[in-house]
Structure formats: structure tokens, C-alpha cells
Amino acid sequence: MDRVGTRLKQFRLTHGWSKRRTAEELGVSIPSIIRWEEGESEPNDYNRFKIETLISSRTKEADRVR
């Protein structure tokens, strides 16, 4: 099963976002982004929801542009 941290990192790098921008978009700290991406911890349900919403909304926007 794909970890949310792995998907978040892939999304962040694909879109050229820094950890700071990602943290600001999600309303979390930069260390949280680092821990999730490195697999040291998993986001709680609320933050997981915010991550999944961000990824799906930006992916849909990119698909519309194509």
C-alpha cells in the first residue's frame, strides 16, 4: 500500500514545491512534512484528509489544463 508521505513527496517534487510551501498550504510545520515524507510518522486523520484533498484538487487542475 502506498504511504501518504510517499505520495506527498512525489506530488511536492512533481509540482516544484518546497517543504515550506507544502507546509503552508496544509497548515502544518515543516518538521511534520519531513517526518511524513521520511516515513518516521503518519499524519493524523485530519491532516491525511487535507493531504489527499490537496493532491486530488491539484491533479484535477493539471488535467483540465492539458
Could you give the C-alpha distances from 23 to 1, 18, 48, 63, 65, in angstroms and in order? 24, 9, 13, 24, 25
Give the pLDDT confidence of 10-58 residue by residue, as tens digits: 999 999 999 999 999 999 999 999 999 999 999 999 999 999 999 998 7
Please tell me the pTM assigned to this model: 0.85
Total number of domains constituting the chain = 1
Q: What is the pLDDT of residue 60?
A: 63
First to last CA, the chain: 29
We report the CATH number of the domain holding residue 21 as 1.10.260.40
Boundaries of domain holding 46: 4-65
